[in-house]
Amino acid sequence: MTSTILPDGPGQTPLTADTVMRYHLCWKHRDLDGVMALYHPDIQYHDFFQNRVLGYDELRDYVRACLPHEAGEDIVHSDRIRVDGCTAFIQYQVTVQGGDGLVAFQSSEAITVKDGLIWRINEYATLVRQNGKGNQTGGPRPATSRLGLSPRQLSTMAQDLEHYFNHQRPYLDPELDLQQVADESGYSRNQISYLLNQVLGQSFYRYVNQARLQHLMTSLDDGSVEAPIDQLAFNAGFNSLSAFYKCFREHTGLSPKAYLKQISLRART
């Protein structure tokens, strides 16, 4: 087996920096063709989070699924891009909203440039949970290799799911189930279940009930509805009052009656 000797002369560092910066900007601007044009035909993309290696023919679908979907979505870099000869190092963080705080994937990439194109990428990622007080605690690495999901893809799925719930409001259907969400969102049952349970740390029904509660709380807080709160709960999609009362108390720390009394007192002052 012969080894490949990469150029490492005085002009290699700026060439590497230019290639990697163009690569970064293509990701930022969701330019799939631009990203693919910067990959060497012999590229090997080592995704250590999923324990797999992707070649050029597999990367278009991978990149398409990972690119930000909405305007304003971006990958936050935690350090400047560092370049040394034919290699560049990038550190970034992908954050999604979990049930009990923020969930972040801290990732780093070592990118090797050959002939002005990206020849090797070694990507490493770990899952970090961040609670409401801002403390970070490491958790076990989710076993996502069987689902074929990278950290970026998990983040995109979380954003897609949130967008679907906010705009389509499927939670208003009291019979909503996981299969219906999978059919309408374009993901599989296993993928959504994994995202919710293993990454966001909550069950499907808790996620749905939180969306229902947020819908109801918006009506309460702006004072636009005067119907009894039990009726508001059913209108928001709750199919039992016991589930509603439990969800309400977990979210506010109060019973609905005490919360309404608090709103009434605030309105008088």
- Tens digits of residue pLDDT in 114-144: 999 999 999 988 877 655 433 344 444 554 5
In a domain, 188, yes or no: no
Proportion of the chain in helix, strand, coil states, percent, rounded to 5 = 45, 20, 30
- Residue 18: inside a domain: yes
Q: Does 189 reside within a domain?
A: no
| pLDDT value of position 98 | 57
Domains contained in the chain, number: 1
- pLDDT at 112 exceeding the cut of 90: yes
Each residue of 152-181: pLDDT tens digit? 788 888 888 988 999 999 999 999 999 999
Q: What pLDDT is stored for residue 132 in this prediction?
A: 43
CATH label of the domain that carries residue 43 = 3.10.450.50
Max alpha carbon distance in the chain (Å)? 81
Using CA atoms, how far apart are residues 227 and 242, in angstroms rounded to an integer?
A: 19
pLDDT tens figures, 199-211: 888 899 999 999 9
Report if residue 75 sits inside a domain: yes
Query: Residue 10: is its pLDDT beyond 70?
Result: no
Structural domain containing residue 51: 12-142
The upper half-sphere exposure of residue 182, i.e. CA atoms within 13 Å in the direction of its Cβ, equals 13
If you ran DSSP here, which 8-state letter would residue 125 be given? E
- Say if 253 falls within a structural domain: no
Of 125-129, 144-148, 149-153, 248-252, where does mean pLDDT reach its minimum?
144-148
**Residue 81, in any domain of the structure:** yes
CA distance 197 to 199: 6
43 is a domain residue: yes
Q: What is the pLDDT of residue 136?
A: 44
The overall pTM is greater than 0.85: no
What pLDDT is stored for residue 104 in this prediction? 74
Q: What are phi and psi of 249, to 5 degrees?
A: -65, -40
